[in-house]
Amino acid sequence: MNTTFSLDKLPVGRCGIVQRLHTVGNIRRRLLDIGLIENTVVECIGKSPAGDPLAFLIRGAVIAIRREDCRTVDISIEEEKTLWD
């Protein structure tokens, strides 16, 4: 089962797959330019001590993105399965 939520909710150390961008204009162009396009794998590798910005590994590059911009990106992750599922 897949769970969909915004990029700012991705826990450190977990990977997600970009589903959709909910922004327009220059910010959308910048997010697309850094590789946040549909079906791209994104890994959260850290958060600043204050919680903003967040650091992600996107297509082999570490990118810092403001939490406000992360909220405009929908991602999905496959829920971990247990032995009993």
Residue 62 resides in a domain: yes
CA torsion through residues 7, 11, 13, 15, sign = negative
CB 78 within 8 A of CB 2: yes
Per-residue pLDDT tens digits for 17-56: 999 999 999 999 999 999 999 999 999 999 988 878 999 9
Residue 83 resides in a domain: no
* Domain CATH code at residue 45: 2.30.30.90
Contacts of 11 (CB under 8 A, 6+ apart): 44
Residue 85 resides in a domain: no
Tally of domains in the chain? 1
Range of the domain at 10: 2-70
Of 18, 61, 60, residue with least CA distance to 39: 18
Residue 49 resides in a domain: yes
Residue 75 resides in a domain: no
Residue 18 resides in a domain: yes
Asked if the model's pLDDT at residue 85 lies above 90, the reply is no
pTM for the whole structure:
0.83
- How many angstroms separate the CA atoms of 1 and 12, rounded? 21
Residue 80 resides in a domain: no
DSSP H or E stretch at residue 51: none
Residue 81 resides in a domain: no
Neighbours of 42 (CB within 10 A): 24
